Amino acid sequence: MKRRLRLAPGETAYTACARALLRGGVAEKSGELVSAAVLAERVGWCAELMSAMAAGLLAEHWNRADVEVLAGGVAAGGRRLPSQAWMALRRLGWTAGAPEGVTVNDRIVRMSQEQAGRLLRSAAWRAGVTAGVLATWPADSLKRTAEEWNAVRAAVPGGRALPSNLIKARTRQIASFLRVKGRLPVDVFELEDAPRPAAILLLAACDRQQATFERSDSNPQRALLRLQLPVRPDPQRYADWAWVACPIILPPTVPVTAVLHLPTLRVQGQNVRAEVAYTHAVPRARRTGHTVALGVDWGLNTLLSAGAVRLHADGRLTALGAGAEFRAAGVLAKQHRLRRLSERLRSRADCYQRLIDGRKSHQAHPALEGKLAVLSAEIRHISTRRTSLNEALAWSAARWAVDQATAAGATAIYLEDLRSLEAHGMGRTLNTRVSQQVRGQISDRIRHLAAESGIAVVTVPARNTSKQCPQCLTPLRHCKAPDKPAVAGWKWAICPNPACGWQGDRDHGAWRRIAARGLTHQATTAVDQATGQRAIRSVVNTLEAKAVLSPLDPKTNQMDRSKTGPTRRHTTRPAPRRRRAPSPARPNGQAGQRPEGPAPTDRRRLPRAAHRHQGGQAISTPTRRHRPRGAALGAGFHLHAHATPPRWEAIRSHV
């Protein structure tokens, strides 16, 4: 059932995606039930067939001339190419043929053309970056000078806003080609082979002759997907294709008023996953005019530190509350343990591969090949676990940040722009930990969740956000802890200005600076027309001078404390506290002893979370080293993700 989305004033259309599971279907012609395993098999046949057709089309047009024509958007006769990839390829005359002896309909050819066209269009950006790096190849590929950096950013499309690590990664790839071939590559098409298309079904390129997707009239959270699937891996005629009706239970995140689009199907094990795209109305996020904003600072063990700042009518900036933290030390410890295990397995697999290659000239060794196959399967399993853990961490951190903004009534979230952060010069362990952070995934998830609530997400420059005082912009003096001001460290910050005297956690000072900079520079916010992302590119000195927070007035008790009667008499012998009273001897059984403190006495060991050092304030390092026992033992995710609750209501009345 297709309908137009109605928008109210102040709303905009937003397209999102939700995952669903196909648990089976019904063959419409025969009426027999199709189990989940049979459905996965048929979808796999169709996906592999479409992937092979797309691979042939990619291999034929994987060259600079064809990619430039497709990316240019204009055909040979000057006619503009359509936005749909399959229609653009058909207008150019690029067709995909089915394997010999296999019969497919035109909609299967459409899906293969759509996938190949998307991959060819994405190659245009990589070709531009590679061409810019080759045109300005440095004298030393390991270290560019300032002039060489300016030259390569000018040669690369959009190089001024491009992270430096992407340029460095492309430089290392070209340097590796240079060491092997003894010359520089001509372009990216000589540097890289044609990508292998994924085995998926892009039903968005089809029409009602191949697939339909309608919401149920009786239950809006249910939908029916009808599509044609082959009944054999190599269909010889059109009779080998049959219609299958698959009911789908939509996730609760899909609104009832949303317009559904044809999903994308992929096979995972014995299941078929459907990525359901839907369009719904959301509040329109403003570019300017924000009075309350949430500043978010990145950290290592404390992954996120956030707090809200209010912009008053007179231009003053005040902090709303003490801020909050999202700590994920346990999750990151588990991630590093999996990374080290993966590195050890890869080194052992490389050793087996060298032994196998050395014995190929003499005789085969099936034992080594079997060990290599087992190691390869284990490496893939660990890689999947790391990917799932990163995804869960990114969604959890993004949900927490958006909830903080919603609780504070913020209309904007200002993120620290760390795209140019390079992990070097901090030691081998710390460099690895910094490079393994999932900041990009968290940023994307924050943008997605914030768009649902009409909250604008803007990146701001990160320069001097942790170095300067949030109340007077004086360079801070960092130390180990507030009770050790003379010990060098980085966690605690103290303002040396006697007139200010601010001190606090380094990350908490950073989110104040980020939010203040975003509110004062919101008029300079630029919106990328291609991606829709908002960013403040540079810092203006005149606006930066206004990005200071005013200290809050001390809290005063307004209750009248004047004496109106005689002082209440207190007894000289107070009742003994429970801790002061001695406990009786412990009986042999489980019952019969009075508890002597807040900790239960019927448990010999406390829970794992009770042994951790999780103080909210920055204090000196405890005598016992912190060990995330849950991460070492492989405990669950939520046991290691800790978030401090917001405290906006306690201070909102005093602002």
Helix (H/G/I), strand (E/B), else coil: 652: helix
Name which of 329, 213, 362 is nearest 278 in CA terms.
213
On whether the CB atoms of residues 337 and 655 are closer than 8 A, the answer is: no
Q: Which two tokens stand for residue 37?
A: 């395993």
Cα gap 29→641, rounded to integer Å: 51
pLDDT at 62: 93
The pLDDT of residue 462? 86
Burial-class residue 153 by CB neighbours within 10 Å (0-12, 13-18, 19+): middle
Residue the block writes with tokens 């395993």: 37
Cβ contacts of 29 within 8 Å, gap of 6 or more: 242, 243
The residue type at 643: A
First-to-last CA distance in the chain?
51
Give the angle 24-27-31 at the CA atoms, nearest 5°: 110
Nearest residue to 526 (alpha-carbon basis) of 158, 72, 121, 132: 158
- pLDDT for position 264: 94
Cα(443)–Cα(455) distance, integer angstroms: 13
Domains of the chain: 292-331+395-552 (3.30.420.10)
Residues, the chain:
655
Tens-place pLDDT, residues 387-419: 888 899 899 999 999 999 999 999 999 998 876
CB 295 within 8 A of CB 305: no
- 10 Å CB burial of residue 331 (0-12, 13-18, 19+) is buried
**Among 434, 428, 433, 438, residue whose Cα is nearest residue 336:** 433
pLDDT of 437: 65
pLDDT at 633: 46
Using CA atoms, how far apart are residues 375 and 379, in angstroms rounded to an integer?
A: 6
| DSSP code, position 609 | G
- Separation CA 38–CA 41 (nearest Å): 5
Buried residues in 296-325 as b, exposed as e (16+ CB within 10 A): bbbbeebbbbbbbbbbeeeeebbbbbbbbb
- pLDDT on residue 363: 58
Rounded to two decimals, the pTM is 0.78
**Radius of gyration over every alpha carbon of the chain, rounded to an integer in angstroms:** 31
Burial of residue 466, with CB atoms counted within 10 A of its CB: 0-12 exposed, 13-18 middle, 19 or more buried? buried
Phi then psi for residue 222, to 5 deg, are -120, 145
User: What DSSP designation does 468 have?
Assistant: B
Q: CA 225 to CA 208: how far, in whole Å?
A: 11
pLDDT at position 334: 87
Judge contact between 646 and 408, C-beta under 8 A.
yes
Low-confidence ranges of the chain (pLDDT < 70): 1-3, 359-365, 419-437, 552-563, 571-655
Question: Residues near 352 by Cβ (< 8 Å), separated by ≥ 6?
Answer: 368, 371, 372, 375
For residue 501, the model assigns a pLDDT of 85
